[in-house]
Amino acid sequence: MITDAFACLPIGKDLSLEQGACLYVNPITAIALVERVQKIGAKALVQTAAASALGKMVVGIAARKGIKVINIVRKTEQEGVLKAVGAEYILNSETSNFERQLRILSKELNATVCLDAVAGELTSKVLSAMPYGSRAIVYGGLSEKEIPIHAGMMIFQDKKLEGFWLSAWAPQQTPYRIWKLSRQLKSLAKKELKTDISARFPLEKAIEAVDYYSANMTKGKVLIQTLFTEGN
């Protein structure tokens, strides 16, 4: 494979190839999103799909920055996953009083930014429950649904929607910024940015690997192994 040198990051000898393989998209996205929250000036944030690999990374990075996180999940078992990485505030979007709980908690913590990986109706519900002037940064579309936003939410409550795509963000960064980012990744790689790996499949079982991951997304990442191994 041939690629641009500026698209590569050194991982160091103390990091396994497996963790190195997971160190680009999710970790850099998590760092960039939390930095965006800081730039906006928010003291707390809300995140959907919070039990995902990226969601758990946001919990750790935000804690380092002193930013409170309201984590939204849709399954009870996902709450334990988040508590294990130190999450303090967890709400289940499937409960009957979810929107009321979110409205109260987001006002209490002054959570004015939502990091959203789901899209669809959930984005609208969450943004509606958040304080005046809040915004949702949409970086994923797990629901595969459009986001229904009432015009009054933007006109009278000054709420906003914006997007984030790593492939558009990365080319805008200077070489110095990429160097600083590589240092951040190294310092966080063994804890806040560590990726759980739930299964490994050989290349010839790639389709089976995708099916397994689709059914077990919150258990961890699935690696497709080529002929090259750790010792080669």
Mean pLDDT over the full length of the chain: 91
In one-letter notation, the amino acid at residue 147 is I
Q: 84 and 38: one domain? A: yes
What was the pLDDT predicted at 227? 65
CB atoms within 10 A of CB 130: 26
Q: Does residue 49 fall inside a structural domain?
A: yes
Q: What is the number of structural domains in the chain?
A: 2
CA neighbor of 115 nearest in space, from 63, 164, 158, 173: 164
Instruction: State which residues form the domain around 54.
Output: 25-168
In this predicted model, what pLDDT tens digit does every residue of 39-77 receive, in sequence order? 999 999 999 999 999 999 999 999 999 999 999 999 999
Q: Does residue 132 fall inside a structural domain?
A: yes
Q: 211 and 114: one domain? A: no
In one-letter notation, the amino acid at residue 9 is L
What was the pLDDT predicted at 225? 87
What was the pLDDT predicted at 232? 43
Q: Does residue 2 fall inside a structural domain?
A: no
Q: Does residue 67 fall inside a structural domain?
A: yes
DSSP 127-138: HHHSPTT-EEEE
What was the pLDDT predicted at 231? 46
What was the pLDDT predicted at 192? 81
Q: Does residue 221 fall inside a structural domain?
A: yes
Q: 50 and 88: one domain? A: yes
Q: 163 and 200: one domain? A: no
Using the 3D structure, point to which of 168, 187, 221 is the last residue of a domain. Answer: 168
Q: 75 and 151: one domain? A: yes
What was the pLDDT predicted at 116? 98
Residues of the chain with pLDDT under 70: 6, 227-232
Q: Where are the alpha helices (DSSP H) in 22-174?
A: 25-40, 53-65, 77-83, 98-109, 121-129, 151-157, 166-169
Using the 3D structure, point to which of 124, 153, 168 is the last residue of a domain. Answer: 168
Q: 157 and 209: one domain? A: no
Alpha carbon distance 25, 9 (integer Å): 12
